Chains A and B, each alone.
Chain A
Amino acid sequence: MDAVLRSAAIYLFLLLIFRVAGKRTLTQITTFDFVLLLIISEVTQQAMIGDDFSITQAVLAIVTLVGLDISLSLWKQRSPRVERLIDSVPVLILENGQPIKERMEQLRIDESDILNAARELQGLERLDQIKYAILERSGNISVIPRPNAGG
């Protein structure tokens, strides 16, 4: 019983904490983010299985976590509100070469992040070559070039 409860508590807590940390937290994993991720996984592992190293305990924890994930995705499919709550919404952060400063500040994104995405995804060189930039739910920035961006 406690394996199920512990795993569920950890799952929900992590969901909450990464929602609070914001969309961009673990999207572009820097070296340090990677280390942070490893530390978090190590700490949660102990909280989930305690000092019971049986296979049963591990199986129960994994089944609970994956089960919660599945039920949450079913719930998200049913209810757009729940989906919004858990996955957030996409936000337009640049329109016709003009960065929307206020939203960028709220989302802790700067122009270099947009340029970085534009270079990686579209091979663009300047902000004015971008028609739209959107911060997606996943935390990635998608870039749509202007039709004549090549010039």
Chain B
Amino acid sequence: MSGPSRIGDLELSQDLDFHRREIRGEKIGWAVMLLVVLAALLGLFGSGPLSTGEARTPDGRLEAEYNRFARYMAPAELRLTFRPEAVREGQVQVWLSRDYLQHMVIQKVIPEPDSVQLDGPRLIYTFNVRQGTQSGDLVFELETEAIGRLNGSLGLMEPTGAAQGAGFSTFIYP
């Protein structure tokens, strides 16, 4: 860019090319802002209709509702629903992958688990259930502690070991 140029009696460093580009840039920026707002309303930045995902173990005895999108240091929730067939001897045993929970702070588990066991890459939660319980919800209230994509898996425990689980993943915005 040269110095100020003369326009009539006026010394002015006017650059109409740049001005036009700037106006176009502004318009594009407005469009982007609109898209961001729409995406936020749909839940692509966490909290919204598209922000909750569902996973299910292959045998269908355990379903999970998880956050597809969450935000750093914000609350997240993992809601497990077990079918009556999942109850054995008055107990439901659920395993969760540790690499998921490592980057989450567990604020609360509802109901309180009867015991938590460490099993290599898994954590095993045991809940006492009254006989004849139809099905129930187990809610893990979490707070995110990392940024980026987090992969996790969960499933039921069998007497023979961990049953095949379901995978899920959460993307955490900074």
Residues of A that sit less than 8 Å from B by CB: 16, 19-22, 50-51, 80-81, 84, 88-92, 95-96, 103, 106-107, 131-132, 134, 144
Contacts and interface: CB of A to CB of B under 8 A. Distances in A.
Contacts of A144: 10
Nearest to A95: B8
A89 B8 contact: no
Nearest to A96: B8
Contacts of B19: 89, 91, 103, 106
Contacts of B15: 84, 89
A84 B33 contact: no
B173 to A, nearest CB: 12
B29 A20 contact: yes
19 contacts: A16-B29, A19-B29, A50-B73, A84-B1, A84-B15, A89-B14, A89-B18, A90-B12, A90-B14, A91-B16, A92-B10, A92-B14, A95-B8, A106-B19, A106-B23, A131-B9, A132-B8, A132-B10, A144-B10
A89 to B, nearest CB: 5
A10 B167 CA distance: 35
A96 B73 CA distance: 59
Nearest to A134: B12
Interface in B86-115: none
